[in-house]
Amino acid sequence: MLYLLQNIVWRALSGPHARFAAGTDTARRYAPGYSPVAAFLDPGSADCEALASVCRAGEVLYFEGWSGPVPRGWRLETEKTMLQMVWEGPMPAADEAPEAVRLGPEHAGRAVALTELTRPGPFAPGTLELGDYFGCFEGDRLMAMAGERFTAGPLREISGVCTDPDFRGRGLARRLTMKLIRRQMQRGETTFLHVVGDNRPARTLYENMGFRTARETLLRIVRIEG
């Protein structure tokens, strides 16, 4: 089953998330407004020309597992090791965030503002449609959120985990993550997530919770300039 982690973005874009995709049989991306993430059928022989046909100048896209040459007109902004971590703990005994609100389109503005403040990874207003997202509120203010993104077979990713700095120290992100793990395990799914390799605090936190590193991959952030 864990072999599905290899080229997981392509597996999602050509499978469960095909309705959110733009591109061809060799290169796809989430359509603008959903998530700035792209993938190739064969990362070792990336069809950058096909992907360029569904991109606009100035766009920034995230890639997982692609290490080939960057074509002219594209600028490599970031290249880092990224870890794919899989949940190996037991099912949480109870919902640790029963007060959390299911996030919908009406919450998109606040969700985007929170991710711009905290930078948990690529996010767009339509990302909320890629899975179940939950948030904790104080009045109308979104304090923390977490949700689901990539999926293939029984694998389901937890993503967008973030907390407003004004509300850190309350365990909100951890409780939301445990809520999602419980829901996924009840559906018979296996939880995984991505962590940038040099983010030692996040890696240690997830390891202490019950996640283990399954594989290392490459994260690239590329700007389409022409």
pLDDT reported for residue 2? 87
pLDDT in tens, 106-130: 999 999 999 999 999 999 999 999 9
What strands lie across the sheet with 101-102, from one edge to the other?
Answer: 21-23, 27-30, 37-40, 60-64, 211-224, 74-87, 190-196, 155-163, 141-152, 134-138, 101-102
pLDDT reported for residue 45? 94
Q: What percent of the chain has pLDDT over 90?
A: 99
Task: Work out the pLDDT band at 33, boundaries 50, 70, 90.
Answer: very high
In eight-state DSSP terms, residue 66 is: -
pLDDT reported for residue 226? 73
Q: How far is CA 34 from the centre of its chain?
A: 11
pLDDT reported for residue 1? 79
Rounded to an integer, the average pLDDT of 187-210 is: 96
Task: Tell me the pTM.
Answer: 0.96
Tokens of 27: 């290169």
Rounded to an integer, the average pLDDT of 141-167 is: 98
Rounded to an integer, the average pLDDT of 181-209 is: 96
Task: Name the maximum alpha-carbon separation found in the chain.
Answer: 52
Residue 76 phi/psi, 5-degree rounding, is -75, 115
pLDDT reported for residue 96? 97
Task: Work out the pLDDT band at 102, boundaries 50, 70, 90.
Answer: very high
Reply yes or no on whether the pLDDT at 191 is more than 80.
yes
What the chain holds in terms of domains, given with CATH numbers, is 2-81+220-224 (3.40.630.30), 85-216 (3.40.630.30)
